[in-house]
Each structure stands twice: as C-alpha cells, then as structure tokens.
Amino acid sequence: MENEVSQLNEVISALKEEKVNLEKSLYSNQQQLAKLQEEKSDVLRELDIQRSSVSTLQ
C-alpha cells in the first residue's frame, strides 16, 4: 500500500511538472502569436498605404 502511494505521488509530481511545462509553452506561443498578429497588422497597414498611393497616381 505504501509503495502504491509512493508511485501515485511520483505520477502526480510528474503530471504537475508536465502541466507547468505546457503552461510555459502556451505562454510562449501566445507571445509569439501576439507578435505575429502585430506584424501582420503593420504589413496590412503598409499595404493600404501603398494601395492608396497607387490609386492617387492613377
């Protein structure tokens, strides 16, 4: 019985560690996504400016 409890505690510890790692990965991915969305907005804004310039020239 004591051995089973010890094994369960090891499993719980491993799962907690995995949870922490997944949360760190999720946070990192969210940061990267936010950066990419910001870059996309910048590119689309620049594209709109260029389209506007082309329309003005025509």
Write the single-letter amino acid at 46.
E
Residue 41 Cα distances to 44, 49, 50, 56, 58, angstroms: 5, 12, 14, 22, 26
Q: For residue range 3-39, list pLDDT tens digits in order.
A: 999 999 999 999 999 999 999 999 999 999 999 999 9
* pLDDT number for residue 47: 97
Structure tokens at 58: 């025509």
Tokens 């590119």, residue located: 43
Q: Which residues of 12-45 are buried (b: 16+ CB within 10 A; e: fewer)?
A: eeeeeeeeeeeeeeeeeeeeeeeeeeeeeeeeee
- Binned at pLDDT 50, 70 and 90, residue 55 comes out as confident
What is the reported pTM?
A: 0.72
